[in-house]
Structure 1
Amino acid sequence: MHHTTSPHAALAPAPSWLSEAVLYQIYPQSFADSDGDGIGDLAGITAHLDHLSWLGVNTVWLNPCFASPFRDGGYDVSDYFSIAPRYGTDDDLATLVDAARRRGIRILLDLVAGHTSDRHAWFQHALHDPDDHRYIWTDGSGPVPEGFAPSPGPRPGAYLPNFFVSQPALNFGYTRSNADEPWRQPVDAEGPRANRAALREIMDHWLRLGLSGFRVDMASSLVKDDPGHVETTALWQELRRWLDGAHPEAVLLSEWGDPAVSVPAGFHGDFFLQFGGPDNGLPMRSLWSNGGGTVDTAWEPQDCWFHADGKGTPDTFVRAWQNAEAALHGTGHVVLPTSNHDFSRLATEPRSRAELPAAFAFQLTWPTLPALYYGEEIGMRYVPGLPDHEGSRLGPQYNRAGSRTPMQWDDTANAGFSTAPAEDLYLPLDPDHDRPTVAAQRDDPDSLLHLVRRLIALRRTTPELGPTGSVRILNTGYPLVHLRGGRYLVVVNPRREPVTMPLPCTVPPGAVPRPLETSGVTVTDSTLSAEGFGFGIHDLGAPGTPA
């Protein structure tokens, strides 16, 4: 088996800048269109960097912007070394990276590591050469195995897709052999070695152009039949050790959903997700998912904590976070997103906009790295009823297009996203006449946008509210009450019913709880009251102690 070092050997510490990161995810098709073709592009992002800088964002993650036939929104890469023409050129990316750097913003790309498009030159070559093992192929001597797709070319046999049929899985080997499946190759076979080398080459190419790292798609999917992810861990640790030497300031964030496994495997951080990881994503679904928007029929219905009816609990999420933190020992970070390109936005029916401030008060004060999905800062909603577009539909009630609609900048045509005719837009705009916009909320100091900006600034100036500050949970349920750094009391009540309760900690003698950012929460030296959807961050003075 392929092990260059012990899988438990220590990795270099994460770059220090990561602990101060406030991430912002941009779906490039939908952010800003600079050339009037109806599709967002890199120059459009560059033109709106001042919005991100004003907001306080310092790290941007772009969904894939490489050449692609776009059968899965760009996650089907046909050339890892070329920018898709719809987004611009290498020069446009260099301009974006440079303009962002001048504003103190780092840019991360999305690395699709486990598969390519079936249009990729590698796959086209493999279709004609039975001795090409970049992908996982049967020899054609038997029926097509379950999960495989018949060869679409002269090569006999079938290949293994990683997601859609148009996304053949790259061959990183199998941990276990099986006499009934002779196509299984070990991780140190020629094809897997070539693919590991290619990942390094791709990463090196873009990092040398000034990028700051990668979010890695389906990071746990590389080595197949890999109990405990032992060989997948060895693969990523090998890449991480190379990265630490060649690009020590670069970071790797994983789409894995299980930080307790992925961070020791070599990633600097991992996103909690609505799938994968503990209980197949239940901790995240129990936090935000209210049964609207992207719904997988395989998921058990459950009440989420951020729900006006107040039937949920934060305990499932908190336990998963505690377990992850215990496994990390400070070596990396849990990343907590509001939503992303695959899942419902925070503003998904039946959640109202009045409920969003409390959600951000929680996300931006919890000891994780926060990741905002574009448009969340103004409360853009999940738009139901859209057509399938570029592989957006995954099931009868699961259409990702509703979370990918154009950014709403102002009240001009197409909400300022594009000068193209409305019918040429990548996706339709939210048709709601009352849709929020950046411009309107910039003019309203009481808006969600200004609140998010203030919360980010408070987090920046108060290290105790960041990912490394201590947290003591004083009350779970409604409201959640926790103490950061021994002195900052955070109260979040996501339900519509108000609550009054004894203050579950001691205020230092003579101190008066000082509100730093609050809406509907009152704290005295002995009680706290929270209105429906209320939240509050109070400075109690000198570090307090639990009663």
Structure 2
Amino acid sequence: MWWKESIIYQIYPRSFKDSNGDGIGDLAGIISKLDYLESLGIDTVWLNPIFGSPNDDNGYDISNYYDIMTEYGTMKEFDMLLQGLHQRNIKLLLDLVVNHTSDEHPWFQGARQSRENPYYNYYHWWPAEKGKPPFRYSHFDPSGQAWTYNKATDSYYLHYFSAKMPDLNWENPQVRKEVYDIMRFWINKGVDGFRLDAICYISKDTSWPEIETHDWGAYYAHGPHLHDYLQEMNREVLENTNITTLAEAAGITINEALHFVEENRKELHMLYHFEGMHLGYLKDAYKRPDPKGIDLVELKRLYTSWDKIYETGGWGTIYLTNHDQPRMVSRWGSDIETYREVSAKMLITFLLTMRATPIFYNGDEIGMTNIRFESIDDYKDIDTINMYKYLQSKGEDTARFLLDQQMAARDNSRTPFQWDTSTNAGFTEGKPWIKVNENYTLINEAAQEKDDRSILQFFKQVVLLRKHQPVLVYGRYQLYDAAHPQVYTYTRTLNGTMFLIVLNFSKETVVYKLPFLVDADIEPLVNNMLTFELEGGNLNLAPYQALIFGPLPPVMPTAAAAEEKAEVLPLEEETI
């Protein structure tokens, strides 16, 4: 199962590299950077949607599943990209959106003309003669519900997201057949798998009961036939192939994860959860950062719990940012220049030493940061823009909202990749579709390529370590000192070999007592700092210091560590 050993690198094509000067990244631009991708040591590229789209939501509104978005290039260039990746032993996951289409898709263009049109039943409709449709919330329209009136059919269509993104009617077997045909088309072209957007939302309760809930994600993710459809997809498309699937699993709980990825259920292969992404935000405001920051004790509890779920089956992933989240170092580390490099390295160490398939977002490997726009005019994302308009219409505090968005906005991660110090960071010779972060003269790939102690070089080194140490992929994970508010410590153990990972998640220097005795002369295998101090079992950890010790023989914890019986997992070994 190759995806367990993969390191996934997510490319946001619109912002990666522009080849023709129109200010929009494209396939030819990615092709020009294939050697760079190979140099990273990553195994798999996840490419955000590249299909035909009017770009209401940057490609997540698909109008043609069988062709390439005009701005991105041609099918010939896609074939060249796929061939170039495979020549470098890199696999490709396409981002496939099948919960909804664009309203400009031919299916919906036909459906909205007449109730008698054969495509009408490809979507969900509420006839006007039945009165007001039952309330459903639109993620991209906080001012109203997820039904929009269509005059020609005198009915309302459902859209869990933008009104330009109508939801497909998976209850119609013909729709499912169409989706499977799309998947087969790209599999036949040679892709290695799919990241399945909003896949938990595909099943709807078509009795349309009135719902009283504020947790719409959880409701949408529990349609009555969701697992029936996923099992059918597996039978019709995935079974007996080497294809993998990565599910966006918004709305599911930790106890439901194995329902999707446990092998005997024959559904999907991997998923990523959203629980970690809720950390560090206040519960009573829209994406408002908690001034106290992220609670490390809660972070450890959460990621330890998710690891435990997969002890007996299935497989997980781990990530700290993507196209829907702010920049990794700005959110989880510190983008203050004093700590930016070291905290970025610490976070890289964390992702590459956990028992799950790590997913890195383009730019993580050079420590790109949030751009922190001050004006709504600089934003391009439908989510930020629509929420701003809604708050403005209600007379609420838009200045406060913009301040919150400097940390939380999706556009923070969508600014152009910073290649070098030339105009527009080497991303384009034209006007970029979104502003380039002004810190590109300090943070760029070209400079870090030449610096042996850069974030980029550190990334490559720890990637290489994971590739050469199966214990870091398959080894049993054990947490220590669960209640420590600043340090995250764990071991990975496999076949008599153990690695010890110690991460300082804080801006403070910490004197930390190791959870078990180690050789006083031990030196860390990986250290993101120039300094290392170990005296009498106590580590003097600098701010954001990350250390990997190993390989070591498995040892028993000290009495102090053993006291945390409820938090520390059993010390056992696991074989591949």
1:188 alignment partner in structure 2: none
Q: In terms of mean alpha carbon deviation, does 34-43 or 227-236 score higher?
A: 227-236
Is 1:95 the counterpart of 2:96 in the alignment?
A: no
- Name the CA distance, whole Å, in 2 between partners of 1:413 and 1:388: 21
1:176 alignment partner in structure 2: none
Which amino acid in 2 is paired with 1:240? N
2:475 alignment partner in structure 1: 469
- Name the CA distance, whole Å, in 2 between partners of 1:408 and 1:300: 28
Contact 1:212/1:250 (CA < 8 Å) preserved in 2?
A: yes
In 2 relative to 1, CA 59–344 (structure 1 residues): closer, same or farther, beyond 3 Å? same
In 2 relative to 1, CA 253–495 (structure 1 residues): closer, same or farther, beyond 3 Å? same
Of 384, 408, 411, 2:372 maps to 384
2:397 alignment partner in structure 1: none
Q: In terms of mean alpha carbon deviation, does 31-40 or 250-259 score higher?
A: 250-259
2:229 alignment partner in structure 1: 235
1:245 alignment partner in structure 2: 239
Is 1:166 the counterpart of 2:164 in the alignment?
A: yes
Is 1:109 the counterpart of 2:91 in the alignment?
A: no
In 2 relative to 1, CA 527–151 (structure 1 residues): closer, same or farther, beyond 3 Å? same
Deviations 1:284-318 (A, max 9, x none): 332xx578xxx9933575467xx6xxxx4334334
Any gaps of 5 or more consecutive residues in structure 2? 136-144, 206-218, 261-266, 389-400, 559-576
Of 523, 535, 558, 1:514 maps to 523
- Name the CA distance, whole Å, in 2 between partners of 1:150 and 1:120: 17
In 2 relative to 1, CA 463–512 (structure 1 residues): closer, same or farther, beyond 3 Å? farther
Of 296, 306, 316, 2:298 maps to 316
1:181 alignment partner in structure 2: none
In 2 relative to 1, CA 487–148 (structure 1 residues): closer, same or farther, beyond 3 Å? closer
SS of alignment partner, residue 482 of structure 1: strand
Is 1:402 the counterpart of 2:396 in the alignment?
A: no
Contact 1:338/1:376 (CA < 8 Å) preserved in 2?
A: no
In 2 relative to 1, CA 543–323 (structure 1 residues): closer, same or farther, beyond 3 Å? closer
In 2 relative to 1, CA 98–216 (structure 1 residues): closer, same or farther, beyond 3 Å? same
1:256 alignment partner in structure 2: 249
Which amino acid in 2 is paired with 1:465? L
Contact 2:520/2:537 (CA < 8 Å) preserved in 1?
A: no
Contact 2:520/2:534 (CA < 8 Å) preserved in 1?
A: no
Which amino acid in 1 is paired with 2:199? A
Contact 2:520/2:535 (CA < 8 Å) preserved in 1?
A: no
Deviations 1:320-364 (A, max 9, x none): 334434444554322212311111102337643142221111111
SS of alignment partner, residue 122 of structure 2: coil
SS of alignment partner, residue 545 of structure 2: strand
In 2 relative to 1, CA 82–216 (structure 1 residues): closer, same or farther, beyond 3 Å? same
1:267 alignment partner in structure 2: 268
Contact 2:418/2:440 (CA < 8 Å) preserved in 1?
A: no
The number of aligned residues is: 488
Contact 2:277/2:320 (CA < 8 Å) preserved in 1?
A: no
Which amino acid in 2 is paired with 1:456? V
1:535 alignment partner in structure 2: 546
- Name the CA distance, whole Å, in 2 between partners of 1:165 and 1:514: 58
In 2 relative to 1, CA 465–47 (structure 1 residues): closer, same or farther, beyond 3 Å? same
- Name the CA distance, whole Å, in 2 between partners of 1:446 and 1:271: 31
In 2 relative to 1, CA 123–228 (structure 1 residues): closer, same or farther, beyond 3 Å? closer
Shift in Å at residue 207 of structure 1?
0.8
1:449 alignment partner in structure 2: 456
Which amino acid in 2 is paired with 1:441? Q
SS of alignment partner, residue 426 of structure 1: coil
SS of alignment partner, residue 347 of structure 1: helix
Shift in Å at residue 172 of structure 1?
2.0
2:562 alignment partner in structure 1: none
Which contiguous aligned blocks of 4+ residues in structure 1 show a shift greater than 6 angstroms? none
- Name the CA distance, whole Å, in 2 between partners of 1:270 and 1:524: 42
1:120 alignment partner in structure 2: 105
- Name the CA distance, whole Å, in 2 between partners of 1:299 and 1:169: 25
In 2 relative to 1, CA 230–149 (structure 1 residues): closer, same or farther, beyond 3 Å? closer
- Name the CA distance, whole Å, in 2 between partners of 1:481 and 1:473: 6
Contact 1:212/1:249 (CA < 8 Å) preserved in 2?
A: yes
Of 502, 508, 526, 2:513 maps to 502
Contact 1:46/1:96 (CA < 8 Å) preserved in 2?
A: yes
Contact 1:345/1:380 (CA < 8 Å) preserved in 2?
A: yes
Shift in Å at residue 170 of structure 1?
0.7
Deviations 1:126-173 (A, max 9, x none): 112314211010122043423343334411111111201111111124
Shift in Å at residue 544 of structure 1?
2.2
Contact 2:148/2:156 (CA < 8 Å) preserved in 1?
A: yes
- Name the CA distance, whole Å, in 2 between partners of 1:215 and 1:125: 28
1:337 alignment partner in structure 2: 319
Contact 2:199/2:249 (CA < 8 Å) preserved in 1?
A: yes
Contact 2:466/2:472 (CA < 8 Å) preserved in 1?
A: yes
- Name the CA distance, whole Å, in 1 between partners of 2:507 and 2:420: 31
Of 156, 171, 191, 2:154 maps to 156
2:48 alignment partner in structure 1: 63
In 2 relative to 1, CA 357–327 (structure 1 residues): closer, same or farther, beyond 3 Å? closer
Is 1:220 the counterpart of 2:213 in the alignment?
A: no
Q: Cα RMSD over matched residues?
A: 2.4
1:417 alignment partner in structure 2: 427
1:488 alignment partner in structure 2: 499
Is 1:348 the counterpart of 2:336 in the alignment?
A: no
Shift in Å at residue 57 of structure 1?
1.0
Which amino acid in 2 is paired with 1:205? F
Contact 1:68/1:77 (CA < 8 Å) preserved in 2?
A: yes
1:22 alignment partner in structure 2: 7
1:208 alignment partner in structure 2: 188
Deviations 1:17-68 (A, max 9, x none): 1111111111101001112211111111111011111111111101110111
Which amino acid in 1 is paired with 2:271? D
Shift in Å at residue 264 of structure 1?
2.4
Deviations 1:199-250 (A, max 9, x none): 211111001101011101111111124785552112112212333435x211
- Name the CA distance, whole Å, in 2 between partners of 1:35 and 1:301: 39
Which amino acid in 2 is paired with 1:378? I
SS of alignment partner, residue 189 of structure 2: coil
- Name the CA distance, whole Å, in 1 between partners of 2:21 and 2:103: 30
- Name the CA distance, whole Å, in 1 between partners of 2:304 and 2:461: 27
- Name the CA distance, whole Å, in 1 between partners of 2:533 and 2:323: 37
Which amino acid in 1 is paired with 2:378? P
SS of alignment partner, residue 104 of structure 1: coil
SS of alignment partner, residue 483 of structure 1: strand
Counting only pairs closer than 5 Å after superposition, residues 428-443 of structure 1 correspond to structure 2 as: 428-432=435-439, 434-443=441-450
- Name the CA distance, whole Å, in 1 between partners of 2:125 and 2:281: 41
Shift in Å at residue 434 of structure 1?
4.2
2:396 alignment partner in structure 1: none
Shift in Å at residue 389 of structure 1?
1.9
In 2 relative to 1, CA 469–407 (structure 1 residues): closer, same or farther, beyond 3 Å? same
